[in-house]
Amino acid sequence: MVETEQSIPFQNEKTMTAIHPFRIDIPQSRLDDLADRLRRTLWPDELPGVGDGYGVPGDRVRGLAKYWLEEFDWRATESRLNEHPQFTTEIDGEDIHFLHVRSSRADATPVILTHGWPGSILEYLDVVTALTEPADPAAPAFHVVLPSLPGFGFSGPTRSTGWNRYRTARAWLELMDRLGYRRFGAIGNDGGSMVSPEIGRLAPERVIGVHVTQLFSFPSGDPAEFEGLPAEDHEALAHLQWFLDNKMAFNTLHSQQPQTLAYALADSPAGLLGWNAQLFGESLDPEFVIGNVAIYWLTGTAGSAIRFYYEDAHTTEHPQGPTTAPTALAMFAGDFRSIRRFAERDHAGLVRWNFYDTGIAAGGANDAAGHYAAHEAPDVLVGDIREFFGDLG
């Protein structure tokens, strides 16, 4: 990782905090050590015939590890990232890394895109050019700001506690302020779907609109909320209950004892691969899966990233009332299904609700196909983003 000595003239007059150009350059020694560790992996035993009933199956992790060792080219991923302007700046005591890709269009709308776990900035790399330089001159264009979450990838490890969705939202407001963007849109997936609405809550006068791929709104406990609830929403609740009963171990451990898990994730690339792969469905190409996992490994942020869950679970900051910024949801088949009745309770500005079944082939019963829509269905997602912000004017 290389940060140049010279700062560029993006400075906030109030804070005069510099923004520095950044270029990724992982030392070859790190790559050699990674390859050596993958070759010397100590594999656990596995019960025959249990499939994924006990967790991610060994044949899947072995296959991904083999791809990582024999086929994945980190330098190609590094080069692809370095094609875009990257920067770092210190916000609230932490070094924040981000891509800042400006459109050539004078009428472009600034937007900040936020990823989640176990994703990274790679989640959105397939849509950057389409957003900044649309082929159709009549289509909306955007200036793209794509930061790594605090503690994730090149924004970590974090040095302080408390980096939950709310503190991150405040940091993103500061980042956009430093870049000179008074008005902008907020776009998010996964953890970014929790951060982006909070940006709108904090500064509704600055946020043009919030576009997310999930709205994590759940029953409040009031039985009246279920009266007349459509059958499809009951099905969504049943699937959510199944997920809670069978697949939430990662959330519980991250929220309670992230440091305990961090020792294993920091020491074993195969261990990190197995743990993160549980949220990368079988439908995803191995290049995308390994690219994301490699960022955590090569930056030493596997442990600091999962602290996001702990901080969110232990925060005493619980804003009251719904968000008010114009909000759009673009759901994709196979992913978490939001329920509009609950979402409208939490987001008073909800103006757009779309569901897309793009025919993404699921790899198995437990595969959340569609969760990484910016990679799996980039044209559909970009189209929805363009329509939403275009309608807002």
Candidate list 190, 335, 367, 384, residue with the active-site label: 190
371 is known as an active-site residue? yes
Strand residues in the chain grouped as ranges (E) = 2-3, 19-23, 86-91, 94-101, 109-114, 142-147, 184-188, 207-212, 327-332, 350-356
State the Cα–Cα distance between residues 206 and 31, nearest whole angstrom: 43
Supply φ then ψ for residue 374, to 5 degrees. -65, -25
For residue 182, count other CB atoms closer than 10 A to its CB. 10
Amino acid at 199: I
Location of structure tokens 């009963």: 245
For residue 206, the number of C-alpha atoms closer than 13 Å in the C-beta half-sphere is 23
Candidate list 309, 310, 356, 372, residue with the active-site label: 309
Location of structure tokens 């930056």: 299
User: Any long-range contacts for 263-271 (C-beta under 8 Å, 24+ apart)?
Assistant: 263/303, 265/296, 265/302, 265/303, 265/306, 266/300, 266/302, 266/303, 268/37, 268/41, 269/34, 269/37, 269/38, 269/41, 269/65, 269/68, 269/293, 269/297, 270/37, 270/38, 270/41, 270/43, 270/61, 270/65
State the Cα–Cα distance between residues 31 and 334, nearest whole angstrom: 35
Q: Specify whether the CB–CB gap between 24 and 78 falls below 8 A.
A: yes
Q: Which two tokens stand for residue 265?
A: 């994730």
β-sheet bridge partners, residue 207: 184
Supply φ then ψ for residue 347, to 5 degrees. -135, 95
Alpha helices in 90-228, H assignment, sequence order: 128-132, 165-178, 192-202
Candidate list 100, 115, 347, 371, residue with the active-site label: 371
For residue 179, count other CB atoms closer than 10 A to its CB. 20
β-sheet bridge partners, residue 22: 3, 86
52 is known as an active-site residue? no
357 is known as an active-site residue? no
Q: Any idea which residues carry the catalytic annotation?
A: 190, 309, 371
